[in-house]
Structure 1
């Protein structure tokens, strides 16, 4: 049997996804009004509005959908509570597709909810949130009132909430359902794992550092329940005034793996791992592939510059886990891409005992400590970046990072002595990385092209 899901962007009918389960065959049909609308966009570059002569590749449709699902424990919870197999991608998007990353909603109903339908808001008092965080090993954080809530992709525990006004103005947290409202923020509680202490504070520091450096990172704040919780403002959501009532408009985004039509398992460059027998296989997302996505954007030069800054900033903070699902694009009308704000910025190298191989190599180097001037020159050559531009940007960012990291370490956001000591450690690390990057990009600019 073939089953059908309807795809929506706000109240607009985008089209249908069909699935034949036995042979795992997928089909896509865009709705004619959607195709003819000048404001419309394709799901991804691999699934254009104009149907290809050979039709859409079944595997490309499945890959696109799979990227919308949560990972890790959140996926296990969704599987268990919905009585599904982990491999049942169609069943999972049917169960969880009312709230995904970006603009799209997936429903079994061919008719949208009427625009006048009331949204359901379920408030989450801080005391209840704190209790649920404490109990999350027994009752998963994605389960509320007996229902599994969608969690955006990633391995960390997350909860999608609607915030009625900024936290500093007394904003309240809600679970939101209905046609008018959707989540506007992502809550990421501290893990409580002794191997990754102060993870929420770590991400807050790195995200705020990027914003202090005038880099395009998502807005974040720390909520205390009193446990630290990182609150991330969703850049794929816009709250609008509709007749005196708030309405959440969803913006379509895709990550770099979706832009390149790669599977979730290919988010790391060494998609088969780093064992001796397979370490030479590098079919996953790489900096070279990422920079190639600039050809799909309206302004290639601006996009490449944004990608260069992103790559250099990851080096400055020591984020070895900057993989292909950690860079996203807005999909503009017609299908052109535009780099989206940054997210998931963490100084992974602050933690001992973890595999810190780089998710994507600088040149041929997968170890942070082994990145050399030649590796950066090789990186620039592969990605089509002028090495003098890299020197200028690297040294500018290094100077900014040293000053702003020191200032952020003194911010009032960090309440305990342990938090203040921890962020000072990140600031000191960033300062050392800045000195290192300043020299590396200067030396990289001196290599002759024929050696690369």
Structure 2
């Protein structure tokens, strides 16, 4: 029996993007065909100081339109990964692959400046409820119950809406901790100012809070651009990270938090989150030669998108050398970010600095290879020279910076291990072990960089 053809109604969804109290653009989605669109608001484009979402999504799209998938890639890079993504999808009864549904649920408080909001509503200008305080005692209880109740869920609502695998909680801190600061969960228009990163609670990565605090604070001591961190104890250790994409102040009606726009290197490179590792298909025998993800070379290519190219190149070089010094094999494409201005990009402060090599139960393959070396042990003078060649870095500059940073690390690493932040013998012993490793890496880096500068260019 043949029937009369009935036209299929294809659903079309839309969200508005808001920043600085103004509509920025409309995000469109046709789920049946997985088609995405972005249309900037003319008033936003005309505003002095206005900025696009990313270099891949400029105010004026090419004649043929944005690259296929560019809008979706930008959005999916805002979403959490791992268990946090599982929790979000389960809570909202949507598929983990349904990017539009997830950003609809989480888009009010993502990384960067933009809020994703229903097209028939405007974001509130005044909070409808006061911020919800999280006391030290309640946080401690929630940390104890993480296996039964995920940390991302509070009062029946998912509070995790930033990229990453590790458990995190976004909060507003009303005063510095030393001045009796209190933690609050927030609702629009108020935004979070800090991120809480508790100890994972797994045997594979003991003292991770101390590890990250040590590496981040060492970078600060070395005068490197890094996010501010502190250890908050419930008494369980929790890393408190000040968000550099937020500026807090106090207005007449109460606290005000300005949201600054940042993107990570995957977004800056117009790559999906699955490309955050250089070996984007993994290191299996039949795919290990495929290196289409974010590499040092891809990262340094972003220099051409920056406002101050010389400063950006130097920042990236120092970031790469610091990862070598601390043994951070997991420094991937979502662990470096840029501020977005109308004129171009600007490197943001560093974050997620961890000495991963302290954990023998974790794979230590490098997220980005030095030349063709995917392990720290395999890095040779030739690999450093190859890195410099691919990234457009003068090898004499590499030598000078390596020597300077190695000297600073050798001076400050032992001192940081004695910091009062580490309260017992076990924490101080772990910090001392990280420091000893860094001092050894500093000596090795100095020797390798010296030899790399001597290699003839025709051999590269």
TM-score band, normalised by shorter chain: over 0.9
Taking the aligned partners of 1:258 and 1:145, their CA distance within structure 2 comes to 32
Is 1:237 the counterpart of 2:246? The answer is yes
Aligned length: 450
SS, match of residue 330 in structure 1: strand
Query: Cα deviation per residue 1:41-87 (whole Å; 9 max; x = unaligned)?
Result: 11011100012211223400000000000000000000000000011
Taking the aligned partners of 2:345 and 2:312, their CA distance within structure 1 comes to 9
5 Å-filtered alignment, 1:49-448, equals 49-118=59-128, 120-179=130-189, 181-243=190-252, 245-332=254-341, 334-448=342-456
Taking the aligned partners of 1:168 and 1:183, their CA distance within structure 2 comes to 19
Query: Cα deviation per residue 1:330-383 (whole Å; 9 max; x = unaligned)?
Result: 001x25000000000000000112110000000111011110000000000100
Query: Cα deviation per residue 1:392-433 (whole Å; 9 max; x = unaligned)?
Result: 000100010011111000000001111010000000000000
Taking the aligned partners of 1:19 and 1:86, their CA distance within structure 2 comes to 17
Aligned alpha-carbon RMSD (Å): 1.0
Q: Pick closer, same or farther for the CA change 1:403–1:244 going to 2, 3 Å.
A: farther
Q: Pick closer, same or farther for the CA change 1:358–1:325 going to 2, 3 Å.
A: same
Equivalent pair of 1:27/1:58 in contact (CA under 8 Å): no
- Of 336-345 and 190-199, more deviation after overlay is shown by 190-199
Equivalent pair of 2:226/2:351 in contact (CA under 8 Å): yes
TM-score, with normalisation over the residues of structure 1?
Answer: 0.98
What is the CA-CA distance between 1:115 and the residue it aligns to? 2.6
Taking the aligned partners of 1:226 and 1:220, their CA distance within structure 2 comes to 17
SS, match of residue 324 in structure 1: coil
Taking the aligned partners of 2:391 and 2:120, their CA distance within structure 1 comes to 44
SS, match of residue 106 in structure 1: strand
What is the CA-CA distance between 1:118 and the residue it aligns to? 4.6
Q: Pick closer, same or farther for the CA change 1:244–1:82 going to 2, 3 Å.
A: closer
Equivalent pair of 1:11/1:112 in contact (CA under 8 Å): no
Is 1:24 the counterpart of 2:29? The answer is no
- Of 215-224 and 37-46, more deviation after overlay is shown by 37-46
TM-score, with normalisation over the residues of structure 2?
Answer: 0.96
Equivalent pair of 1:119/1:176 in contact (CA under 8 Å): no
- Of 239-248 and 305-314, more deviation after overlay is shown by 239-248
Can you give the 5+ residue segments of structure 1 that lack an aligned partner in the other structure? none
SS, match of residue 366 in structure 1: coil
Equivalent pair of 1:288/1:382 in contact (CA under 8 Å): yes
Equivalent pair of 1:159/1:187 in contact (CA under 8 Å): yes
Cross-structure match for 1:40: 50
Taking the aligned partners of 1:261 and 1:364, their CA distance within structure 2 comes to 24
Can you give the 5+ residue segments of structure 2 that lack an aligned partner in the other structure? 1-10
